[in-house]
Amino acid sequence: MPDTVKTALVTGGSRGIGRACAVRLAKSGYQVYVTYVSRPEPARETCRIIEEKGGRAACFPLDIGDSQAIVDFFKEKIKDRVFLDVLVNNAGMTMDGLLVRMGQEQWEKVIRINLSGSFFCLQQAAKIMMRQKTGRIVNITSVTAQSGNPGQANYTASKAGLIGLTKTAALELAPRNITVNAVAPGFIETDMTSGLNQQIREKYLEMIPLKRFGSSGDVAETVAFLASSGASYITGQVIGVNGGMYI
């Protein structure tokens, strides 16, 4: 028999938005499973933070660019072992470049990880949740999926694809009481944005009506709400966490 404790799986939970989501979901009472690709220590730190606050957590290596690895992971670590209540598809990457110079590997790797990887995680989670007749799936997309962004044709295409996936999955899974939503962060203070020079930061701040970058916690609060009973009638939606920024 599976563990009856409700479990939330957060892919790419080593840092930034993924870590914030894992910690926030643990605060809501979930046992949290965190995945990482190649750096175990940051993922273990996420688990330590959760455990120090009295929660339950475990971290696992998972390359979501490998569809067979995803199938094996769900079979060995999730199916018939835990009650999978929440999936947060957060893992992703960037390989920026102007589209006329973008190589095939740049394009295909970002699509494979950000979109295909999320699809296969969603697919495996859905099979489990359908048997449970309940579940919450939250895909982390981006404001750039709605606006476009120069130099990120691969990234924006992958994140826009997640929006289409979200809406279709929501329609297919609703009869089994499974909701599927997307959260589209704007400019969030993370490792990825910390390297921006002051001129670029000021340019982006001009686009944001609230005149500040968001925090990982802002995104995590939205994810936690979508995972809660209070969001049981919300599905197929894209929730912007962007300070009012629409280009």
pLDDT in tens, 109-135: 999 999 999 999 999 999 999 999 999
Find all residues with CB under 8 Å of 67, minimum gap 6, and list them: 116, 117, 120
Single-letter amino acid, residue 184: A
Look over the chain and give the mean of its residue pLDDT values, rounded to a whole number. Answer: 94
Predicted confidence (pLDDT) at residue 73 exceeds the cutoff of 70: yes
Percent of the chain, pLDDT > 90? Answer: 87
Return the pLDDT at 5: 85
How far is 86 from 179, CA to CA, in rounded Å?
Answer: 10
Q: What positions carry a catalytic annotation? A: 155
Predicted confidence (pLDDT) at residue 3 exceeds the cutoff of 90: no
Q: What is the DSSP string of 107-143?
A: HHHHIIIIIIHHHHHHHHHHHHHHHHT-EEEEEE--T
Return the pLDDT at 2: 62
How far is 186 from 208, CA to CA, in rounded Å?
Answer: 9
Query: For the domain bounded by 3-241, which CATH number is listed?
Result: 3.40.50.720
- 0.75 exceeded by pTM: yes
How far is 170 from 137, CA to CA, in rounded Å?
Answer: 9
pLDDT in tens, 187-239: 998 776 676 778 888 888 898 999 999 999 999 999 999 999 999 999 999 99
Q: Could you tell me the two tokens for 15?
A: 């840092």
